[in-house]
Each structure stands twice: as C-alpha cells, then as structure tokens.
Amino acid sequence: MGTAVLCVVAMALLIFLLGFWVSIQRGRTDVMTGVETDPTSGLNKAVRAHGNTTEYVPILAILTLYLGTQDVAAWVGWAMIVAAASRYLVVLGFLTCKTLARPHVFKVIGALGTYVAGFAMCFAAYQTVA
C-alpha cells in the first residue's frame, strides 16, 4: 500500500502545483478566464498541463488505491510508478515545449507511459474480481 499512496500523493501534488502555476500565469498576463490564442503562451501551456493532468489523475488514483489494497503481482507496483512518472513527463513536455502546436518528446513518452500503465492497471483490477 505504501507505493500506491506515494504515487497518488505525487499525482495529487502535481494537480495542486499546476493549479497554483495557472493562477500565477493568470496574474502575470491579466487574463482571468479562458486562455490566450497564442500556442507559445505560458498561460496556455499551464492551462493545458493542468487540464490534461486533471483528466487522467483521478482515474489513475482510483485504480492505484484500489490495487494497493489487493494482493497483486509485483509488476502492478511498477505500473503505478510508471503512471505517476508518466504524468510528470507529460507536464514537463507541456511546460517546456516551444509551442503547443507541435508534439514534444516528453509529452509523447509520458502519454504512452500513461496509456500502457493505465491499461495494465485496468487489467490487474479486472483480475482481482475475475
């Protein structure tokens, strides 16, 4: 359960840090709602990083905590770690890319890791009831 809790805490922290970063960017740009149309805008990047994170982290957290309470194979713990690390890679890609108009290697690797780990954890959760 320790690995599961640490992974969920890491992902939750990411959501709160990104929310704070969006607030800072809004203060800097004086754009209180919506985003700028410029794909190189720091506000636009922050909003997309936060939005993308809040799309994936809740279900990953549910799967992670559930699997943390089950007697599962060791690989499931690694899937949890890959999921959490992948979310950080995606965010790094969003925040460091020159423009949102083109893919960034960190976003691609992070997204792939999220999908692989997510599907693996879904399979593991299914196995606990099958």
Q: Give the position of tokens 């970063």.
A: 21
pLDDT band at 66 (very low <50, low <70, confident <90, very high): very high
For residue range 14-23, list pLDDT tens digits in order. 999 999 999 9
Yes or no: domain 2-129 corresponds to CATH 1.20.120.550 = yes
Sorted by where each begins, the domain ranges of the chain are 2-129
What does the pLDDT read at residue 123? 97
Sorting pLDDT into bands at 50, 70 and 90, what band is 93? Answer: very high
**11/42 Cα distance (integer angstroms):** 21
Q: Are the CB atoms for 76 and 121 separated by under 8 Å?
A: yes
The per-residue pLDDT for range 25-50, each reduced to its tens digit, is 999 998 888 888 899 999 999 999 99
